[in-house]
A and B are shown apart, each in its own frame.
Chain A
């Protein structure tokens, strides 16, 4: 058991129920690939596919991820589904699961997903021949409710930020960044252009760390941990993929703007991400309605054209 405890389960999407993994005594590990070119992965995908997904495959093909015992994919978007299929056929890890997640949050979705989560728990438990105790799941839920998400790896290069403080004092224009996985260079360039990042609505930012503020989640007493788990994730800050949950996304954005006293926003659209294209129009509409200008920057996982970005960011600062 001691040996087995060290077993890692890799994940990519902020909708991954890491508590299930933890309840089995396994270690969830978010795999964030380093930025760079993706010559090997390019051979498996069409040219106009998400550069983040390509970077993941590239890193896996190069054997640069710590070898996990399995990957828990989430069917978050088409690119991720393609990746899971390729992953499975190339047998990049001994085990592969893919979890469907509803694109909305209501009681029907919660009930459906709770059942699906229980099934997944069963699959994981059978795969590692160890029981999944409800008590252990409750414990994992509790542990995950406090502090930054525990990824269980020091090798992980994600920057799950906890430093997003509403009161962050700054005389510079206060900026909201929106995107999927935000490239590090963008944060630096925003600061170089004389503005401050006060909140990141990203799947390595607020949409991940914010999920513990569950509203409407059931009580533990006498409750079903799978229902609670489903509520916890479906009611977390909604990501662009929650296309049937757009009203909640608008409310969430309005709250972020008020709480963090946001003055301007930058939308980093990962190239070819169709979800971002659709989400951008919502974000722009909502924020501009509040008098907040939104700058769209298109880029890939590593960033974009520095010179062009710098001009656009400076122009945004001049507008503010």
Chain B
């Protein structure tokens, strides 16, 4: 039977059914539409495709113009199972904290178990990076450890010298980072991280509400990892009796791409 014939028979049946029961919702339920019946029905825009419940039509249009000449479009094949190859959440984490032979298995991870498997590696990596610079400066690596960062002051108030431990230890920081998800607030403007007025009170500190194209995520990551209590611990400064500290809290570059303020926001390819 030709599709057209079948279609008109079906439409007639629908019309008849609705005519005798048009004030009864049950009548509509009787007109069961499916995405496998070989008929364009329901909200479909092609045969068994398009609309609100079926797969999209392959040509995208279905019989949008109603002339019937493209009703035989079929849905593309999306069958099968797909296995995870790569993974990404929070930017800059793997960049700074990855270790050799780490990324391939890490890409196969899921956020709910990452901290369990990788937090300790991250923490060791963080301390190891501090040791590298201790050695370059001729210092004892044990004296140049990670120092709690500005997040602790923002979350809990300024550290009181010698009395209150800043709670963002290397372990806690790497535990937070090891969750490796990007947090996006639906009801707030997006700020990746802004320390406000800075040390010691960080008045107006905001952030962790998402990531825009312009955010300098590398600098923020470096400040949290190497900036210490004032955010500028390793900032290329001269330290009497030690020498010049390395510049580790900024990579020195700003955005060079040209995002736009309108969809799709990314600049045209170069």
A and B: real partners? Answer: no
